[in-house]
Homo-oligomer: A and B are copies of this chain.
Amino acid sequence: MKSASLATEYHSDRQADDDHELASTCKALGHPVRIRILQFLKRVDRCICGEIVETLPLAQSTVSQHLKILKEVGLVIGEIEGPRTCYCLDKEKLTRLKKLIAGL
What residue in chain B is nearest A42 (Cβ atoms)? Answer: B104
Among A11-45, those with CB < 8 Å from B are 11, 16, 19-20, 22-24, 26-32, 34-36, 38-40, 42-43
Q: Does A94 contact B (CB under 8 A)?
A: yes
Whether B6 pairs with A19 at a CB distance below 8 angstroms is no
Main secondary structure of the interface of A (DSSP, over half): helix
Q: Does A5 contact B (CB under 8 A)?
A: yes
List residues of chain B with CB within 8 A of the CB of A101: 97-98, 101-102
Whether A36 pairs with B19 at a CB distance below 8 angstroms is yes
Q: Does A65 contact B (CB under 8 A)?
A: no
Q: Besides A7-B55, A23-B30, A101-B101, 13 other CB < 8 A contacts?
A: A10-B55, A16-B32, A19-B36, A23-B29, A26-B26, A27-B30, A29-B30, A39-B104, A42-B104, A97-B101, A97-B104, A98-B101, A98-B104
